[in-house]
Chains A and B, each alone.
Chain A
Amino acid sequence: MRRVSRRGLLRAGSAMGTSLLLSGCDGVFESPSLRGVLDFGQWMSRNMQRLLLVRQPLAREFAPSDISQDFPVNGTTMPGGFDYFRMMTSGFSSWRLTVDGLVRRPLSFSLEEIKALPARTQITLHCCDEGWSAIGQWTGVALSRILESAELMPNARYIVFHCLDALEQSFDGSGIYYESLDLFDAFHPQTILAYGMNGGPLPVPHGAPLRLRVERQIGYKSAKYVTRIEAVDRLDTIGRGRGGFWEDRGYQWYAGL
């Protein structure tokens, strides 16, 4: 993520002052010179929250009776394309999860192989940046277990989740959903790859056959339809370079708030 220098901050601060004085509101709020100030806000929030979470507390887990009756579906509800359709109709028997990038042992799993790994079930609150929240029960394998068996190389800093769904139609693939975490959140015990929801298999609108759950961040970090996990040392060479589908479209990479 971008570092904020003190000089850049001062420059951005004075830019905010001058542009507030010189132009009307609309110009100010869209001015690129303000980006540095807003980035400083993100930097503050991320670092203060990291400080708060340094002992890696768990997000609250709820009781089965708290589970929301009708967990909303956001983003893709059904990935397009014949490949996904064929996988879905065959019960995802041909689906595979690949783990590659900066790992010593690239891996490939079938859904059955993932289900055979030790499972974790958690009932958590999903917080959408739009403002709603819903409680769901998720069953899956800890991401840390997958990463440990793939053996990350020392220069791996981020874990990228490539998905099967295109949330935006494009020729160059830039509309395909993806997300990324750094190792701080990737190795958190509640960061799981879920194949079960509310006691049954993960429904297609919620990301079947496998989705990510990141319980201490806002909903868009919990990517659905995950098919490939890539360990990388930098994010700027992937997609449009900001670490995720929504991040490439102006959203915050760190979404703990």
Chain B
Amino acid sequence: MLSHPTNEAPDQVPPGAPAPTGDKPGEPPAREVIYRHSVPVRVTHWINVLCLTLLLMSGLRLFNYHPALYWGDDGYRGKPAFLSIGAAINRHNGAVVGVTQVAGLTFVTTGVLGVSYDPERGMVRRAFPAWLTLPGEPGLALARDWHFLIAWLFVANGAAYLLFGFLSGHFRRDLAPTSEQLHPRHILSDIWDHMRLRAPRGEAARTYNLLQKLAYLIVVFLLLPLMVLTGLTMSPAVTAAAPALFDLFGGRQSARTIHFLVANLLVLFVLVHVAELLIAGAFNGTRAMITGRYVLKPERRT
């Protein structure tokens, strides 16, 4: 039974006991399987994958209707933007060029941002390319429908995850750094391992490492709540009920800018998350998030 994997032979080693090594010369080290992810963590993880994907795609589509970011309460065409994505005409050959401006710097981003290829219409002026955004017409209305529907699912899923994390001790047990992990020597070796792209093995792979824990804590307790709050700050009904949200983020346009920037940080997190998965073993890691079982790789022999 999956729900009681600890009853199975490979899992009988109590935590902290020496791993079965089978280190007799010539014999391969024994394989140990641990039960790594509980059912609530696995279910909420995959629902979250679905939510964040759809929220990103519909969100980029929404962004395309006014591809500029401002600071403060108001922001509109003609007001200096902190970031903008648009198109311009090359005066020499008449070609349409995608132009992205960030904090006063201008980049040509033809093909991806500002101007991108569409199989039916050729080169089209739009901030984010169609393959990154949610399809369908009327685009703005449909993107709003999707974004807000999935936001409800995301919030419900996140609330279930937080409730489970606190009540079951998952956060305390698995995500809170141990005092040993916070020792400067340990921190440095952890950073050094990450720089060498060395995935932990053996006993070290039994728990999350320090940088991994910090990444998860930042996403769960900072970035995702920020997404919800900045999203709510864009709703005129919500800010009528809770005007303090304007003060918290410095205005509706500031909230929109933070919403966009934090979404980018989340994409960055996912890229690193998947890269780390590939380094540590894509099959093993993905299986662990589906079945719960994780194979501990034996320690490196030195």
Whether B76 pairs with A133 at a CB distance below 8 angstroms is: yes
Whether A70 pairs with B78 at a CB distance below 8 angstroms is: yes
Whether B141 pairs with A130 at a CB distance below 8 angstroms is: no
Tell me the B233-254 residues at the A interface (CB within 8 Å): 234-243, 246, 252-253
Given contacts A41-B149, A60-B246, A218-B236, contact A135 B63 (CB under 8 A): no
Whether A49 pairs with B76 at a CB distance below 8 angstroms is: no
0/1 interface trace, chain B 130-156, chain A, CB 8 Å (1 if under): 000011111011101110111010000
Whether B149 pairs with A132 at a CB distance below 8 angstroms is: no
Given contacts A45-B148, A217-B236, contact A135 B74 (CB under 8 A): yes
Interface residues contributed by chain A, number (CB under 8 Å)? 46
A-B contact count (CB 8 A): 130
Whether a CB of chain A sits under 8 angstroms from the CB of B300 is: no
The CA of A125 and the CA of B243, in the complex, are separated in Å by 12
Give chain B nearest CB distance to A143 CB in angstroms: 17
Whether a CB of chain B sits under 8 angstroms from the CB of A129 is: yes
Whether a CB of chain A sits under 8 angstroms from the CB of B75 is: yes
Tell me the A235-257 residues at the B interface (CB within 8 Å): 246, 249-252, 256-257
Whether A249 pairs with B138 at a CB distance below 8 angstroms is: yes
Residues of A within 8 A of B135 (CB): 25-26, 29-30
0/1 interface trace, chain A 24-63, chain B, CB 8 Å (1 if under): 0110011000000110111011000100110001111010
Give chain A nearest CB distance to B77 CB in angstroms: 6
Whether A30 pairs with B136 at a CB distance below 8 angstroms is: yes
Name the prevailing secondary structure of the A interface residues: loop
Whether A215 pairs with B73 at a CB distance below 8 angstroms is: no
Whether a CB of chain B sits under 8 angstroms from the CB of A216 is: yes
Whether a CB of chain A sits under 8 angstroms from the CB of B287 is: no
Given contacts A131-B63, A131-B66, A132-B75, contact A60 B149 (CB under 8 A): no
Given contacts A29-B142, A37-B149, contact A131 B236 (CB under 8 A): no
Tell me the B192-244 residues at the A interface (CB within 8 Å): 234-243
Whether B62 pairs with A131 at a CB distance below 8 angstroms is: yes
Give chain A nearest CB distance to B170 CB in angstroms: 28
Whether a CB of chain A sits under 8 angstroms from the CB of B293 is: no
Give chain B nearest CB distance to A34 CB in angstroms: 9
Whether a CB of chain A sits under 8 angstroms from the CB of B125 is: no
Whether B253 pairs with A133 at a CB distance below 8 angstroms is: yes
Whether a CB of chain B sits under 8 angstroms from the CB of A146 is: no
Whether a CB of chain A sits under 8 angstroms from the CB of B36 is: no
